[in-house]
Amino acid sequence: MDKKATLKLPDGGNIDFPVLSGSVGPDVVDIRALYGKTGVFTYDPGFLSTASCASTITYIDGDQGVLLYRGYPIEQLAVHCDFLEVCYLLLKGELPNQKQKDEFVSMVTNHTMVHDQINRFFTGFRRDAHPMAVLVGVVGALSAFYHDSLDISDQRHREVAAFRLIAKLPTLVAMAYKYNMGQPFVYPRNELSYTANFMRMMFAVPAEDYRTNEVLVRALDRIFILHADHEQNASTSTVRLSGSSGANPFACIAAGIACLWGPAHGGANEAALQMLDHIGDVSKIGEFIKQVKDKNSGVKLMGFGHRVYKNYDPRAKLMRETCYEVLEELGLNNDRLFKLAMALEKIALEDDYFVSRKLYPNVDFYSGIVQRALGIPVSMFTCIFALARTVGWIAQWNEMIVDPDQKIGRPRQLYKGATRRDVLPIDKR
Ligand code: ACO
């Protein structure tokens, strides 16, 4: 039997709305007809209770700490797959077999270089610009360079744009870093894997090539996998909203990067690292926790808590494991911040303040330590996130384009401003 929800109207009437069920997760009340039938809107700033679309890509159960890409648990993907397999999965819905993987890798690899004039585009920026400021500009500018993949109604154009974005983001992120450092750009080397190639473009210099280390490459690859998609978060919703007007994919991804830049979204790993630095020593944890619990202090335990996860963020567990492997490989087992992070986590997980509020470590608690150990400076952390999330943004954008229910995104409002009034002559105001 079809489920329905009944809304009691202020004038006494009742109206029924269909209730839709997904394959898993909470039902949704389909209120699309609400305004037409009743003349009222719903009010939900921050989308606390509103599904903005139907999707088949990523599923999160925040209470259980579950994250699935196309049905596969993140824990299995992080262990058994590499990032490009995960990209294939997110874009196409299934994991590739060997032949499909080889073809996909070859397509991505063939697009790693950027148009030579993009080099000159970079030089228009100040060297001390934040790399995210540069990335927003350069990715947006790709639509000025690749005119042959801008027709969003053409499936082939969309596919080529996807390959271009996934392939060129590492090149552009590395260029943003090199420009900031005052070092020459390093061109991609296509015999390397996606992630090894990125690390080389980041860290090689003309005077000295960069030798890739498999443990470190695997760690960064895992960071990419863990950040590849996270359903309808702020930046993904931004990409969808931008795309809903028919904007081209490069412009939409630039919009997603702009949204990701905000400290409430992509910037938390940097804040977690700064917090650990500020605490400084295990002996200071008690005092710090006291401050966190004091509501007037304004101090938060960064890297803890999440709007959706009310359990251990599954990505945080994987990141802690990776952190351990990387530090061991680099002979940094006694890393001060890692030890501090583990001690802080242990104390917080036993403290009633955090337990009662269901505050657990999120992915950002350990990812800053891993990236720092890999030699990635703090100012680049959000660029790394953007690189990894690009595939999720594209998969979601593609899904939206072919969705028969897709409409231009146009939220309503609760107007609380002045009602109609007349303009007075300037001497009477
Ligand atoms: N430290 C201390 N107290 C916290 C923390 C924290 N990190 N997070 C939440 N709380 C407390 C709140 O003060 C509130 O307490 P109260 O009920 O006594 O008022 C309660 O827990 C509920 O918190 P909300 O703010 O309502 O939770 P919300 O879902 O709005 O916020 C958020 C989630 C923004 C992530 C928050 O937990 C936070 O600021 N965490 C630190 C920043 C961080 O790590 N962000 C990364 C998120 S993951 C990502 O973007 C990839």
Residue 301 CA, ligand 1 centroid: distance in Å: 8
Q: What is the chain's alpha carbon radius of gyration, rounded to the nearest angstrom? A: 24
Q: What pLDDT was estimated at residue 2?
A: 86
Name the active-site residue from 82, 221, 313, 364: 364
CB neighbour list of residue 139: distance below 8 Å, 6 or more residues apart: 165, 169, 172, 250, 253, 254, 257
Ligand 1 lined by 319 (C-beta under 6 Å): no
Active site residue 306: yes
What is the pLDDT, as a whole number, of residue 122?
A: 93
Regarding the beta carbon of 259 and ligand 1, being less than 6 Å apart is answered: no
Q: Ligand 1, closest atom to CA 266?
A: 50
CB 368 within 8 A of CB 380: no
Residue 265: active-site member: no
72 — phi, psi (to 5°)?
-90, 130
CB 96 within 8 A of CB 104: yes
Dig out the tokens for 354 from the structure: 């955090």
Could you give the percent of the chain with pLDDT greater than 70? 100
**Distance in angstroms (rounded) separating the CA atoms of residues 146 and 165:** 11
CA distance 329 to 214: 10
Between residues 369 and 196, which one has the greater pLDDT?
Answer: 196
Q: What is the pLDDT of residue 1?
A: 67
Are the C-beta atoms of residues 150 and 161 closer than 8 Å to each other? yes
- Mean pLDDT (the chain, rounded): 94
Q: Is the CB of 307 under 6 A from ligand 1?
A: yes
Question: How does pLDDT run across 202-216, given as a tens digit for each residue?
Answer: 999 999 989 999 999
pTM of the model: 0.93
d(CA 174, CA 176): 5
Catalytic residue from among 111, 306, 313, 335: 306
| 8 A C-beta contact, residue 199 and residue 220 | yes
**Whose CA is closest to 363, among 418, 399, 329, 314?**
314
pLDDT for position 27: 97
Q: Is the dihedral of CA 232, 236, 238, 244 positive or negative?
A: negative
Q: How confident is the model at residue 223 (pLDDT cuts 50, 70, 90)?
A: very high
User: Where do we find the tokens 């069920």?
Assistant: 21
Q: Give residue 323's pLDDT.
A: 92
Q: What is the pLDDT of residue 10?
A: 80
Best of 293, 307, 351, 389 for a ligand 1 pocket test (most atoms within 8 Å of beta carbon): 307
13 falls in which pLDDT band (50, 70, 90)? confident
> Nearest-CA neighbor of 239 among 365, 346, 391, 343?
391
Residue with tokens 């000295």: 208
User: What is the predicted pLDDT for the residue at 272?
Assistant: 87
Q: Sheet of 4-8: strands edge to edge?
A: 4-8, 14-20, 28-29
Which burial class, exposed, middle or buried, applies to 238 when counting CB atoms under 10 A from its CB (0-12, 13-18, 19+)?
buried
The answer to whether 392 and 228 have CB atoms below 8 angstroms apart is yes
* Beta carbon of 268 within 6 Å of any ligand 1 atom: yes
Q: CA-to-CA distance for 236 and 253, rounded, in angstroms?
A: 9
Amino acid letter, 113: M
Name the residue among 271, 231, 249 with its Cα closest to residue 378. 271
**Which pLDDT value is given to residue 384?**
97
pLDDT confidence of 157, banded at 50, 70, 90? very high
Asked if residue 288 has its Cβ within 6 Å of ligand 1, the reply is no
Mean pLDDT of 276-280: 92
Question: Beta-carbon neighbour count of residue 264 at 10 Å?
Answer: 9
